[in-house]
Amino acid sequence: MGGADNLPGFEELSLGQLLETKTGYNVFIDNDANMMGMGEWIYGAAKGCSDIVFLTVGTGIGGALIINNELYGGYKNRGTELGHIIIRHEGLPCSCGSRGCFEAYASATALIDRYRFQNPDALESADGKYIIECYLQQEPAAVAAMTYHFDHMAAGIAGFINIFSPQKIVIGGGISEAGDFYIRELTKK
């Protein structure tokens, strides 16, 4: 039993049990980033690993931790908000209400904001995919925005490596579709 901060009114609802009863299937309910991380651990890029950090990079930054072959969620499963580690004291405001969070610097939303800062004439429809296309064509504003993104993404990842010493860091979410160049750029930092 539990609830979700972003779904008011669902406190103490046994949703898993309700779905099991209705469908006859075993049901496991958890945070979306945790489920994505488990999918990578069981079937994907981290299969066979006992310790991983999974990051989902999109509108925000979510994460999952597998520690010693177990999904770790912290007390009452409210932990592993990996996008909300502070990487800059009194830094940019974050959607969580704090300042200087990893998410405020390295999410796809932050990338778009940085691109628009670099290029005030940017199309209103400019999204991560568009910025990556411009980056690959070496458009200066996109190169500057992506460099800023890579710097902050690498800093956050280095912090997770220092804390958790995982066998693998796996990146998922919209940005993971950028292509192999993305990982190559991150490893240069």
pLDDT value, residue 55? 96
Beta strands in the chain (DSSP E): 52-57, 61-67, 70-72, 168-172
Superfamily of domain 31-188: ATPase, nucleotide binding domain (3.30.420.40)
Mean local confidence (pLDDT), 106-131:
94
pLDDT value, residue 31? 87
pLDDT band for position 64 (cuts 50, 70, 90): very high
* Residue 2 confidence (pLDDT) above 60: no
Mean local confidence (pLDDT), 38-51:
96
For the chain, domain boundaries? 1-30, 31-188
Place of tokens 């597998």: 66
3-state helix, strand, coil in the chain (%, to 5): 50, 15, 40
Q: H-helix or E-strand containing 69? A: none
Mean local confidence (pLDDT), 17-29:
90
